Amino acid sequence: MKSAFAKSLSDKIIIAILILIVLTYFLFVVLPIMAVFLRIEPSQVNAQLHNAAIIEAIKLSLFTAGTATLIALVLAVPTAYFMATRNFHGKAVLDTLIDLPIVLPPAVAGVALLYAFAPRGLLGPIFNHFGYILPGSTIAVIIAETFVASPFLLRSAKTGFESMDRDVINSAKMLTDSRLRVFFTVTLPLSLRAIISGAMMTWARALGEFGATLMFAGNLPGVTQTMPLAIYVFLYSDPLAGVMLSIILIAIAFAVLITVKLLEQKRYGAKK
Amino acid sequence: MNNKYIAITLAVIIIVAAVVGYLAYAGTFSGSANTTPTPTITPTPTITQSPTPTATASPTASPIITPSPSPSPTPTATYAPTSLTVFAASSLANVIANMSTTFQNQYNCKITVNSDSSSTLEQQILAGSPADVFMSADTKWTTALNNAGLLLNNNATTFTTNKLCVILPPGNPKGITTMANLVKPGVRLVVAAPTVPVGSYTNTTIWKIQLTWGNSSNPQYVSSGAYVNYNATFYGNVKSYETTDENVVGDIGLNTGSYDAGIVFISDWAYANMTGSPVQFMAIDPAVNTVGNYGIAVIGSTITGGTNHANMAQIFMNYWSTTDGQNLLNKFGFGQ
């Protein structure tokens, strides 16, 4: 048997080691991000915010990421509801397939989109028939962002639908014959937080999309050059502009993640 | 099963995987740390048969250890083991990788290559990075180091050149045969961004075309008018600006119909071709092409290994001016 003193000493050592590990990890993550902020003088920020190339990239990014999120809402939320409420053969496989874009290397996502939608891709003949070529167009950016980012919304919405109290839905179903009415008046409001936090994750991921966009859509200022692509190009020629865009992206990512965190705290807090 | 045991098992698996991964990377299992794939080109330069590395192109004053011309089966015996750190422009990485094994066997000298953009390398050398030899894609950087007094014997040599070419997807679906075809409506081009060397060279060539073939007061004016306002029409057809030569080659080689033509260095095309890429080649008229002069120099300031080390760096530098060196460069698309 250890004495009480030895026990408390070994506890203290363990806690000290734990704190050391936490600090090391925290610094490891925060230091590189801080390093970006230190690369620009506060006096230079204003000039960079009036840099036409930066504004063009920001506008394009906001437009494409916003559109991709809207498309994801239309496609992923109903799918999430279906997956959360039905059981069928091969559901796990389908579920995994839809999640795949989250873990695909960007180059794989890019080449997959090319092989599907480029002029000599699977659906190429259809687009060629209407005289439309996707690569090199803003639509291609939106497709790439939707492909890569929408699974975040799907996952979050599915969890939201799954964690709902079935009794509430069943009671609601007794009051009306319209499934659609139940969905819009009970199901949706109850899972709204999950959907909003999922949509925000999707939006943030779309905003940061780089590899698939570069490969599938290309890099053309004003047409396909979103913020991450502009950062990559600027770092060769105009590092200050690249740093400014990086800071904007970091700030947006931080704001989105902390909002999602607060929303989720409320969601789980309500259950307790 | 108890959660604790699952956690411990997982931790053990992760640690074992990490250790195995590290050992494999360090070369314990593979037996070789050098995992860089090098295209095998036959015939490889046989330095063994040309024991006169003193090339005519570099009249250097430094004494050079000439390998004995006797057909000794173990030439390494002649040389004390040494190693060279070569700072080389990215475009040269493949050609150096191709000759380094032969060189190592011949001279008992291990070549380590640090490849990056020439300007970055020049900055690193200026800042004191330990480079023995510098191979630059532009003689302006070897000259800059010479001006800074960092070169051995103040000696830098131009050892090869690189030029631009047009690359086309397999089958050349748009039937492109001239530079004028590139600016036809509906032709989709991919080039490098003007901020990277190949993109800057491309920009220079496009302007040259407009100012010669597209300029009615120039004797070389092409009367069809196909080259008038060439800069605007060319860049109007550009659908993507890539940040590396490899990306341009990839965009064309993937053959997805996204792009109909691209512009890269001939060395980019040669390497893509020898590694199996289906991209097709179209030459650009020397009258409008942009030539990059490649410079090589031994960095005197950081040579610390004594005379043998400096001599080996000189032998390595001179190799590139020999027939073998030049033939190898030609195979990789340089000096054409």
Name the residue in chain B with its Cα closest to that of A223.
Answer: B239
For range A209-237, the mean pLDDT: 91
Give the strand order in the sheet containing B261-265.
B238-242, B189-192, B261-265, B164-168, B280-283
CA atoms within 13 A on the CB side of B239: 28
Residues 6+ apart with CB under 8 A from A31: none
The reported pTM is 0.76
DSSP code per residue over B174-212 = T---SGGGGGSTT--EEEE-TTSHHHHHHHHHHHHHHHT
Contacts A233 to B, Cβ<8 Å: 193, 195, 241, 243
pLDDT by residue (tens digit) across B288-323? Answer: 999 999 999 999 866 655 667 888 999 999 999 999
Spell out the CATH class of B47-162+292-331.
alpha beta
| Structural domain boundaries in chain A | 50-271
pLDDT by residue (tens digit) across B212-239? Answer: 999 999 999 999 999 999 999 999 999 9
**Beta partners for residue B156, in sequence order:** B297
With CB atoms and an 8 Å threshold, state whether B257 touches A232. Answer: no
- Asked if domains B47-162+292-331 and B164-283 share a fold, the reply is yes
pLDDT value at residue B119: 86
For range B68-82, the mean pLDDT: 58
Q: How many Å lie between the alpha carbon of B82 and the closest alpha carbon of chain A?
A: 36
Q: Which CATH number fits domain A50-271: 3.40.50.150, 1.10.3720.10, 1.10.10.10, 3.40.50.2300?
A: 1.10.3720.10
Give the strand order in the sheet containing B82-89.
B109-116, B82-89, B133-136, B292-299, B151-162
pLDDT value at residue B9: 72
Helix extents (H) in chain B: 3-26, 93-107, 118-126, 139-147, 197-211, 230-237, 245-253, 266-274, 306-319, 323-331
- Is the pLDDT at B39 greater than 80? The verdict is no
The secondary structure element, H or E, covering residue A28 is helix A4-37
Q: Is A169 exposed, middle or buried (0-12, 13-18, 19+ CB in 10 A)?
A: middle
| Structural domain boundaries in chain B | 1-35, 47-162+292-331, 164-283
**Beta partners for residue B88, in sequence order:** B115, B135
Q: Give CA–CA dist B141/B304, Å, rounded.
A: 22
Cβ atoms < 10 Å from Cβ of A241: 21
Residues 6+ apart with CB under 8 A from A194: A156, A157, A159, A160, A161, A163, A267
Q: Give CA–CA dist B256/A166, Å, rounded.
A: 49
**Best CA proximity match to A231, nearest among A61, A105, A14:** A61
Residues in chain A whose Cβ is within 8 Å of chain B = 111, 114-115, 118-121, 124, 133, 135-136, 214, 218-221, 224, 232-233, 236-237
pLDDT by residue (tens digit) across A179-201? Answer: 788 888 888 888 888 999 999 99
Higher pLDDT, B171 or B31: B171
Q: Give CA–CA dist B173/B159, Å, rounded.
A: 37
B164-283 under CATH 3.40.190.10, yes or no? yes
With CB atoms and an 8 Å threshold, state whether A218 touches B240. Answer: yes
Evaluate whether ipTM surpasses 0.85.
no
